[in-house]
Amino acid sequence: MLMTALAVPTSAAVRSGPGHGDDGARCAPGASLLGFTDGLDKTTFDDTAVAGLSALSLTGPSRGLTLVDNVGTTPARIYDLSLKAGRDLTATVRGVTTLRRPNGAPYTGADFDGEGLVAERGGRTVLASSETEPTIRRFRLSDGTQTAELPVPARFRVTPDGEAVRNQTFEALAATPDGRELYAGMEGPLSTDGSDTEGHALVRVLRYTGRSGGAYAPTAQYAYRTDPALGLVELVALGRGRLIALERGFTAGVGNTVRVYLVSAAGAPDVTHTGSLADLSPRAFLRKELLVDLATCPPSGATAKQPQPNPLLDNVEGMALGGSSAGGRHVLYLISDDNAGATQTTRVYALSVRLHPSPGR
């Protein structure tokens, strides 16, 4: 259930360095690092571990929800966060909600692998995706009880029931601002889609249409090609076919790769009835343009618990777009999943990004 507010001490909150101005430390022409905080790392709230945070959805100018990628017998849960970007980024836990079956029994790591999260309009319900089957379920925030489940096309079920690979399904979930479109992104390819000869994974993004808090039905599928050895882990839906995509990968002994792209689905074909994405021409895939590679941001005092190309990097899996900042930019929040492990860090980032029109076809 949702608990009363309690502040979690924060640390490693980074202030924009001298000479960077209000837009922070420059990472790329269209992106700057405002700050980061490790204040949630290895903390607890109401006797639960604040760990495995795999998704982020904003509920207000300085509020958000984050979903736990729970393991074992730990309960599936959502944390209510307070986020303040400014020149000092802070993140505090205000409450926790356990996610429950319709009969009131809690979901656990045995039957719920939470990865994607959408706070629906009105603030009473959320949609959460699980990689286990996969599923997209609706929960009441007041008590965490499941109230609905969205239809999932049969081929997206994990083998042997479908063509999906375990732990490579609905990692990304996003709704347009009006709530009329919902996008569910696969982390990895279906067995019939695979990768190309250069190692780009050929993955599908499902588009649902409906209304926030009501019924949704799948109406289209799009083809998306990741960078080599990376997976699609999160989406932000801007409306009118414009998306922001987060790709992430890990190489043992080297570390993580975290890249954010502006994506356009305008004019992209519906590939629902395409047997294999490998049969498509390059023009059939969603167009994308690099917004920022996190490795290009100044380390800004960050430390890493394992080898990283840049100590600022970690296992980033969640992303949410905030309001406008100075100069017409937006605040883009990222959050990392520490997998409840000693060598990874729960880290929240705030970037200032300029969202020019997405790449055309």
Residue 19 in this model has a pLDDT that exceeds 70: no
**Token code pair at residue 98:** 């356990």
User: Total structural domains in the chain?
Assistant: 1
User: Is residue 207 domain-resident?
Assistant: yes
Provide the pLDDT for residue 85. Answer: 84
Residue 99 lies in a domain: yes
Q: Which two tokens stand for residue 180?
A: 């009329």
Residue 88 lies in a domain: yes
pTM (two decimals): 0.93
Q: Dump pLDDT digits (tens) for 33-72.
A: 999 999 999 999 999 999 999 999 999 999 999 999 987 8
- Whether the ω angle into residue 102 lies within 30 degrees of 0, i.e. cis, is no
Mean pLDDT, residues 299-311: 97
Within-domain flag for 361: no
Single-letter amino acid, residue 202: L
Domain enclosing residue 348, as ranges? 21-353
Residue 202 CB partners (closer than 8 Å, separation 6+) = 189, 193, 194, 195, 196, 223, 224, 225, 277, 278, 285
126: CATH: 2.115.10
pLDDT > 80? residue 10: no
114 part of a folded domain: yes
